[in-house]
Amino acid sequence: MSERTKTRKPSKQPTSPSSTTTTTTTIDKTLIPKMSSPKKYLLKPTLFAASLALLALYAFFTTTSLFPSDPTNPPPPSDRPPKPKIYVYDLPRRFTYGVIDSYLSARGGTTATSAAKYPGHQHSAEWWLFADLNRSDGRGDSPVEVVRDPESADLFYVPFFSSLSLVVNPIRAVGVVAAAGGGYSDEAMQEELIEWLEGQEYWRRNGGRDHVFIAQDPNALYKVVDRVKNAVLLVSDFGRLRPGQASLVKDVILPYSHRINPFKGPVGVEKRESLLFFMGNRYRKEGGKIRDTLFQILEDEEEVVVKHGAQSRESRRMATQGMHSSKFCLHPAGDTPSACRLFDAIVSLCIPVIVSDYIELPFEDVVDYKKVAIFVDTVNAVKPGYLTSLLRKISNESILQYQQELKAVRRYFEYEDPNSTVNEIWRQVSSKLPLIKLMINREKRLVQRDLPDSDCSCICSNHNRTLSAKLQ
Ligand SMILES: *[C@@H]1O[C@H](CO)[C@@H](O)[C@H](O)[C@H]1NC(C)=O
Ligand SMILES: *[C@@H]1O[C@H](CO)[C@@H](O)[C@H](O)[C@H]1NC(C)=O
Ligand SMILES: *[C@@H]1O[C@H](CO)[C@@H](O)[C@H](O)[C@H]1NC(C)=O
Ligand SMILES: *[C@@H]1O[C@H](CO)[C@@H](O)[C@H](O)[C@H]1NC(C)=O
């Protein structure tokens, strides 16, 4: 409890006020190469102009929306923009509590009580957001206002439990309809949801652009993602999404719910005897293949603890113990670039060592992850001895500094604190509103044009940059 009180305190923003300048510089730089390529410019003048407008808007609103959370410089109340109004669809029960019932009954539980308890798991943001929107206490500090009249709404939230739906059948089998005896089909649910929405006036009105879906498990909504791609998607990463379906500009990256208890003790190195800790599945597909390689080179290193372990109560206990007693915690890519382990490490004050080249991180406009984590590209990380010698060179003093920074940001990753993560997610969603309005108005006046595929990505970022694991 005391921990929660602490995390709720408006701590110093990890970003400096210079974020305005940073954004501007980034835009200027990305303009130059485009300008110097006149052929490309002439080809797609509208698209280019639109991207510019979007970038400018994006920069403006991300920056301005920071002010309300800056304790040293709050704007006078009259200057605050009105809170975006959000309408929560009253979906048929089978899309919300019904999913919980099906999940519990597939595991031999009793069904059909309206008090069905959402099972704890790493993708439970869908529950926390649902519960938050349902709060009856006036929603004090929430960045969004819940409205009952859809006519007055700016945004529409679709509270389908898409991540839980995916795992209702005990053996997870993407693409396989209803495991034996289950009778529950996630794919059918996805289809039915979209059919239900297509019967809704407000869904059809703007092609779903002002709608918000949560798909925190990288496979959630996979069957219908092309039909909801105009909407704001709340996701963990873009591992399973194409550039035409999702982007940093349109969508919001969510943190996983941490699965181990926060470390309550003080910062320090004495009690953290291991250098590096990792526990998780050694064998993963796709980007996660690197895990086996890392196991091989780290297994015999001194002061390094790497353990193969699946999700279970016992492995959670061991992970807690390991993360609370190590200086650094390894975060290699899984099947997709992100994993809940990162957030377990953050709340454990175990400095994350991120080896996942395509990772996206939540709330990156307010959290400077270079201050709380160490990023190593895959090419270097798999060189024998590279990681451990890099980490051994980090002084006790720097470790303490990282830990202090971790302590300052961990409040962003506490779903259970009603004034913390959920509010931050709504703040991120709210920052998309000007862009949504622009796109809705623009869409209305567009005439038939000859353009190639749709493109959701209008931030240019340099994917070829080689980032050395330089420490600050
Ligand atoms: C939503 O609010 C109602 C009435 O206050 C309450 O009975 C219900 O338990 C709430 N649901 C959630 C998910 O908090
Ligand atoms: C860092 O702290 C540990 C634990 O107190 C100590 O054993 C070690 O010598 C320190 N390292 C340096 C370089 O001071
Ligand atoms: C959230 O914060 C507001 C204002 O700081 C406070 O009034 C409210 O009690 C808090 N809610 C909870 C559930 O802690
Ligand atoms: C990245 O590198 C590849 C291969 O060297 C090159 O073809 C591509 O144009 C580069 N992309 C950017 C954005 O520089």
Summarize pLDDT for 211-242 with one digit per residue, the tens. 999 999 999 999 999 999 999 999 998 988 88
Contact 422, 12 (CB under 8 A): no
464 in contact with ligand 4, CB cutoff 6 A: yes
What sign results for the dihedral spanned by CA atoms 401, 363, 12, 142? negative
- C-alpha 167: how far from its chain's center? 19
CA 470 to chain centre: 25
Ligand 3 contact, 140 CB (< 6 A): yes
CA distance 153 to 85: 5
Residue 465 Cα, ligand 4 centroid: separation in angstroms? Answer: 10
Whether 453 shows a pLDDT value over 70: the answer reads no
Which of residues 426 and 51 earns the better pLDDT score?
426
43 CA from centroid of ligand 2 (Å): 61
Statement: residue 35 has pLDDT above 90: no
Nearest ligand atom owner, CA of 303: 2
Range 251-277 average pLDDT: 94
355's CB contacts (< 8 A; 6+ apart) are 290, 294, 330, 331, 332, 333, 376, 377, 378, 381, 387
Q: Averaged over 152-163, what is the pLDDT?
A: 97
pLDDT for the residue numbered 108: 78
Give the residue, by CA position, lying nearest to ligand 2 atom 5. 270
Q: What is the pLDDT of residues 306-359, one digit of tens each?
A: 998 877 788 889 999 999 999 999 999 887 787 888 999 999 999 999 999 889
User: What mean pLDDT is predicted for residues 50-75?
Assistant: 48
Q: Which ligand is nearest to the CA of 88?
A: 1
If one compares 397 and 60, the residue with the highest pLDDT of the two is 397
pLDDT of residue 140: 73
pTM for the complete prediction? Answer: 0.78
Burial of 253 (0-12, 13-18, 19+ CB in 10 A): buried
Q: Nearest residue CA, atom 14 of ligand 2? A: 396
Mean pLDDT computed over 119-130: 92
Ligand 4, atom 6: closest residue by C-alpha: 464
Which of left, alpha, beta for 303 (phi over 0: left; psi -120 to 50: alpha)?
left
- DSSP-derived 3-state class of residue 348: coil
According to the model, what pLDDT value does residue 388 have? 96
Mean per-residue pLDDT, 83-91: 95
- 105 alpha carbon – ligand 1 mean position (Å): 22
Q: Is the pLDDT of residue 26 over 50?
A: no
Query: Looking at residues 195-206, what average pLDDT do you find?
Result: 96
User: Which stretches within 78-185 are classed as H helix?
Assistant: 97-105, 125-133, 162-166
Q: What is the pLDDT of residues 89-107, one digit of tens each?
A: 999 999 999 999 999 888 8
Residue of the nearest CA to atom 3 in ligand 1? 134
Dist. CA 99–CA 190, nearest whole Å: 12
Q: Is 36 in the pocket of ligand 4 (CB under 6 A)?
A: no
At 458 the pLDDT is 58
Mean pLDDT, the chain, rounded, equals 80
Nearest to 94 by CA among 199, 243, 196: 196
**Model confidence over 270-310: pLDDT tens digits?**
999 999 999 988 888 776 788 999 999 999 999 999 998 87
Query: Is pLDDT larger for residue 356 or for residue 458?
Result: 356
Q: What does the pLDDT read at residue 313?
A: 82
Out of 34, 464, 465, 466, give the residue to mutate to test ligand 4, the one with the largest number of ligand atoms within 8 Å of its CB. Answer: 464
Task: List the structure tokens of 425.
Answer: 């997610």
**Ligand in closest contact with the CA of 417:** 3
Complete edge-to-edge strand list for the sheet that includes strand 85-88: 145-147, 85-88, 155-158, 211-214, 232-235, 252-253
